[in-house]
């Protein structure tokens, strides 16, 4: 867990706290503040890490902001995401010492330094694996994985997929800017086909990954998408993910104004957003447009955009009604594949279903084994079964 005394450099080679997690449930608190933070037993009003610990239930956005200088490029979409998450945290009613943010490598992976909670800046692509260990060993913690399209879907694609299919109670937020920002502008797994970058001067010839498709195909129980500059909607997605029991995945369209500026402007700009973005709402028809005069309906096995009004005789009742709670992921997968310019870009909650979590099943297996066989002894285990003596 990062002590973040060197938080500004973003190198990820952080000093680890040595205290065991089994003593208080967490290994020290406020791991993202230089010099440590409030211990679980801190009394309300006590001064820790340079400021008074707030009374229970009185946390604010400021309480989740660390003392580290935020070092992203001016104008980066990461600022909006950080701001939204820090604003949502107090509403969850979870003590800071019960929250852990885990990241890999990339611009987004500086995130744990800026949260006044536990943090772990891990290695490239391995944040889901580290988070799996944290959650499995201490299920009472609320664990967040912050990753990017390069970190999470390239070198980390395997870990991403397996963490999701296990349905650990993790919250995974993927910042998608369709470029490698930290390493200065190479194409990423989500870069558009034909895109010219520093590493593809003649254009990308890889077909891009659709993050939602990968998450849904891996049986994610909660899948959502948001836009960095649509702060109110983004905050609602973060809160919904946090309250979901099981793995939750949010893709956030995030602008890299240095190496891929305007990648999503064609539909995220305020002047065109209502015409080109479809906000999915559970139980409501899929209608969009400034005048709510267009909708989505099924034409055989394919969705299509239709004009609503007297000219066509179609209205909201003819549109597909969104149901995020269907166990079959087929419709959510279909919606995740809808793209501009043929369709409005869907955002919101695509899937929200329930399934038993990995850590709960693991705990039950251990409990059943102990009840049946008694508590094991390491000495007996080591000296059981086949053994060899090497001379």
103-129 pLDDT per residue, tens: 999 999 999 999 999 999 999 999 999
Instruction: Please answer whether residues 85 and 112 qualify as being in contact, where contact means their C-beta atoms are separated by less than 8 angstroms.
Output: no
pLDDT at 42 > cutoff 60: no
Instruction: Give the residue among 5, 55, 58 at the shortest CA–CA distance from 30.
Output: 5
What is the predicted pLDDT for the residue at 28? 33
What is the predicted pLDDT for the residue at 4? 40
163-201 pLDDT per residue, tens: 999 999 999 999 999 999 888 889 899 999 999 989 999
Please provide the average confidence, as pLDDT, over all residues in the chain.
87
Kindly list the structural domains of the chain, giving each domain's residue range(s) and its CATH number in brackets, ordered by start. Answer: 7-263 (3.40.50.970)
Q: How far apart are CA 299 and CA 32, in angstroms?
A: 52
268-321 pLDDT per residue, tens: 999 999 999 999 999 999 999 999 999 999 999 999 999 999 999 999 999 999
pLDDT at 24 > cutoff 50: no
Of residues 8 and 245, the one with the higher pLDDT is 245
Q: Is the peptide bond before 341 cis (omega within 30 degrees of 0)?
A: yes
pLDDT above 70 covers what percent of the chain? 85
Phi and psi (nearest 5°) for 287?
A: -125, 140
What is the predicted pLDDT for the residue at 112? 97
pLDDT at 86 > cutoff 80: yes
Q: How far apart are CA 175 and CA 145, in angstroms?
A: 11
What is the predicted pLDDT for the residue at 182? 87
Of residues 384 and 110, the one with the higher pLDDT is 110
| pTM of the predicted structure, to 2 decimals | 0.83
pLDDT at 203 > cutoff 70: yes
pLDDT at 53 > cutoff 70: no
**What are the structure tokens assigned to 115, written together?**
């949260």
What is the predicted pLDDT for the residue at 381? 83
Q: Which of 3-17, 69-83, 284-298, 302-316 shows the lowest per-residue confidence on average (mean pLDDT)?
A: 3-17
Instruction: Please answer whether residues 337 and 223 qualify as being in contact, where contact means their C-beta atoms are separated by less than 8 angstroms.
Output: no
pLDDT at 9 > cutoff 70: no
Which residues fall within 8 angstroms of residue 389, CB to CB, at 6 or more apart? none
Q: How far apart are CA 166 and CA 228, in angstroms?
A: 28
Of residues 12 and 230, the one with the higher pLDDT is 230
pLDDT at 8 > cutoff 70: no
Confidence category of residue 214, pLDDT binned at 50, 70, 90: very high
Most confident segment among 1-10, 49-58, 151-160 = 151-160
What is the predicted pLDDT for the residue at 57? 56
The residue-averaged pLDDT of 129-133 equals 97
Instruction: Please answer whether residues 28 and 1 qualify as being in contact, where contact means their C-beta atoms are separated by less than 8 angstroms.
Output: yes
Q: How far apart are CA 257 and CA 127, in angstroms?
A: 25
């Amino acid at each position: 867990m990062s002590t973040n005394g060197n938080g500004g450099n973003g190198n990820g080679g952080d000093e680890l706290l040595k205290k065991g997690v089994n003593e208080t449930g967490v290994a020290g608190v406020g791991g993202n503040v230089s010099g440590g933070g409030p211990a679980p037993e801190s009394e309300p009003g006590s001064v820790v890490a340079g400021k008074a610990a707030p009374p229970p239930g009185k946390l604010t956005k400021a309480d989740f902001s660390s003392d580290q200088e935020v070092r992203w490029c001016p104008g980066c979409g990461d600022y909006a995401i950080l701001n939204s998450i820090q604003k949502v945290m107090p509403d969850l009613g979870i003590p800071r010492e019960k929250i852990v943010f885990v990241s890999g490598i990339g611009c987004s992976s500086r995130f744990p330094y800026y949260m006044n909670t536990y943090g772990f800046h891990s290695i490239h692509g391995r944040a889901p694996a580290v988070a799996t260990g944290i959650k499995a060993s201490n299920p009472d913690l609320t664990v967040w994985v912050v990753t990017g399209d390069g970190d999470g879907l390239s070198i980390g694609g395997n870990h991403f997929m397996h963490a999701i299919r296990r349905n650990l109670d993790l919250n995974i937020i993927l910042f998608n800017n369709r470029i490698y920002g930290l390493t200065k502008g190479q194409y990423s797994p989500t870069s558009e086909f034909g895109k010219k970058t520093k590493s593809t001067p003649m254009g990308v010839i890889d077909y891009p990954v659709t993050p939602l498709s990968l998450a849904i195909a891996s049986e994610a129980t909660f899948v959502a998408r948001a836009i960095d500059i649509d702060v109110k909607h983004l905050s609602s997605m973060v809160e919904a993910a946090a309250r979901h029991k099981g793995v939750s995945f949010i893709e956030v369209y995030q602008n890299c104004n240095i190496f891929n500026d305007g990648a999503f402007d064609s539909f995220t700009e305020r002047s065109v957003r209502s015409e080109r973005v479809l906000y999915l709402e559970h139980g409501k028809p899929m209608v969009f447009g400034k005048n709510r005069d267009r909708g989505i309906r099924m034409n055989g096995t394919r969705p299509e955009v239709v004009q609503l009004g007297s000219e066509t005789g179609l209205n909201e009742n003819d549109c597909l009604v969104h149901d995020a709670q269907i166990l079959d992921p087929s419709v959510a997968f279909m919606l995740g594949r809808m793209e501009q310019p043929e369709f409005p870009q869907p955002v919101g909650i695509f899937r929200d279903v329930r399934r038993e979590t990995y850590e709960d099943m693991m705990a039950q297996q251990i409990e059943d084994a102990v009840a049946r066989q008694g508590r094991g002894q390491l000495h007996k285990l080591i000296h059981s079964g086949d053994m060899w003596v090497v001379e």
